[in-house]
Amino acid sequence: MADPKRYRLTLTSAGAVVMQGWWPDLASAERKFTSWIGSYSAIAEVKIVLSERGGENYEAMKQWPDDQA
């Protein structure tokens, strides 16, 4: 059975979490990542992070904008 929260997207603005979402498969999570960039890139100080769960913690896979790594 797939982990329904294996991949997480987090959108922050000025360091505050604005919204999060979880997906069981990478393809869906990556489509949402791209969609969120298109939908929310105009928000001030926005950062969108795609993470994968490894045990109890999530590890960032990619983020937008990528110059804030």
Instruction: Indicate the helix (H) or strand (E) that contains 20.
Output: strand 16-23
Range of the domain at 28: 7-68
CA dist 28 and 46 (Å) reads: 21
Q: Helix (H, G, I), strand (E, B), or coil: what is residue 15? A: coil
pLDDT band at 69 (very low <50, low <70, confident <90, very high): very low
Would 1 be classed as within a structural domain? no
Handedness of CA 47, 36, 16, 62 (dihedral sign): negative
Would 26 be classed as within a structural domain? yes
Residue 9's closest CA among 69, 1, 31? 31
Q: pLDDT (tens digit, 9 = 90+) per residue, 19-52?
A: 999 999 999 999 999 999 999 999 999 999 999 9
* Look-up of token digits 């000025």: 14
Would 2 be classed as within a structural domain? no
Query: Is residue 62 over pLDDT 50?
Result: yes
- State how many domains the chain has: 1
Would 53 be classed as within a structural domain? yes
